[in-house]
Amino acid sequence: MSLYRFRIKRIIVVLMTTVFVICSCGPSRQPAVDISKYEGIFPTELTAEVRHEQSKLRWRTNRGNAPIMGYNLYLSENKALDSGSTSGTLAEGISPVNTGAYPGDKDPSTDYETFLAADLIDGVTYYAAVTIVYLGGDESPPSNMIEFVCHPSGEFSLKQRYSGERDGYSFSRADYVASDDLENHIYYVQIGEDDYLLSPSRLDDILKSVKFYPLRIKTIEDRFEPPTGPGANKIKIHKGDGCLLRTKAGQYAKIIVKNFSGSGNEREVSLEYSFMPAPGYTDF
């Protein structure tokens, strides 16, 4: 073989190798899945565990061994599903909140997935639904649609009024304020041997006016019926008692008396609460 022909063959081999390498390094695409095999498979049992400005969504995947990219989460102040749909159809124009499929846990043996939706607004009604995203990008039908409202909850301790610290609490701020602060919702006093929670309006007419109602609940998650009657601007409390606070705007706070400590000016009460900023909303 002549040197010229050898060089030509060598160049051809190098070119073919280069083309093969370039083609092999190109962007890969996930093969599409024949979703007809998974007809009728979609997430169910979607629920929301609401918190202050966030909500933890949880759903049953029902995915089995279906090859998936992940899930799409639909979260909006408008309904996520078409109101005229009986088969579960996403509302027109709605987009997932996630950028790219939310991967979740790729283990097919995982029955449930969760997603933390953050930076939400307390008191706003949100609607949510979730779909499976198959390889190739096709989606399953949506899950059940849920409705929820984020709201603050937790525990705080009140010292007696005018004690100089922690003698008032603003539910809308989820923080302590002075008992005579314009944003205060509640304060505490001991009169003789009796303990009371009171409306700030008792200190001055320009302060917030709230009403109290006795409430029979065992846990702060227990639901309640809307109260009847005018309510009172103070309520006598004991350890373990529940009570309902209603603001002038129609907002509700569930309260459970956890404990008392100290005596005299150092006496304080520990309270667990759940506050709903949306007026008239009682399902929390």
| pLDDT at residue number 10 | 42
Q: How far apart, in whole angstroms, are the C-alpha atoms of residue 42 and residue 133? A: 10
Give the count of domains, the chain: 2
Quick one: 145 and 194 in the same domain?
A: no
| pLDDT at residue number 1 | 46
| pLDDT at residue number 105 | 79
Quick one: 143 and 171 in the same domain?
A: no
Give the structural domain span for 220: 153-276
Both tokens of 260, joined, read: 């008392």
Kindly state whether residue 22 falls inside one of the protein's structural domains: no
Quick one: 197 and 136 in the same domain?
A: no
> Which one of 149, 165, 197 terminates a domain?
149
Dihedrals phi, psi of 18, to nearest 5 degrees: -65, -45
Three-class secondary structure of residue 198 per DSSP: strand
Could you tell me how many helices (H) and strands (E) the chain has, helices first? Answer: 1, 16
Kindly state whether residue 208 falls inside one of the protein's structural domains: yes
Kindly state whether residue 28 falls inside one of the protein's structural domains: no
> Which one of 118, 149, 180 terminates a domain?
149
Cβ-defined contacts of 173-180 (< 8 Å, 24+): 174/52, 174/275, 179/203, 180/204, 180/207
> Which one of 108, 128, 149 terminates a domain?
149
Kindly state whether residue 18 falls inside one of the protein's structural domains: no
Quick one: 102 and 178 in the same domain?
A: no
Quick one: 173 and 130 in the same domain?
A: no
Kindly state whether residue 6 falls inside one of the protein's structural domains: no
Cα angle for residues 16, 19, 25 (degrees, 5° grid): 140
| pLDDT at residue number 87 | 57
Which amino acid, residue 77?
E
C-alpha torsion sign, points 66, 68, 70, 72: negative
Quick one: 122 and 220 in the same domain?
A: no
Q: Structure pTM?
A: 0.77
Looking only at the bridges linking them, the beta strands covering 68-76 and 125-134 are antiparallel
| pLDDT at residue number 39 | 77
CB atoms near residue 249 (< 10 Å): 12
Q: How many Å separate Cα 93 from the centre of its chain?
A: 23
The candidate with the shortest Cα–Cα distance to 157, out of 53, 25, 259, is 259
Where residue 116 sits, what CATH number does that domain have?
2.60.40.10
pLDDT averaged per 10 residues in sequence order, the chain, 284 residues? 41 37 45 72 94 95 89 95 73 93 82 95 96 92 95 96 88 95 97 96 97 96 92 98 97 98 93 96 91
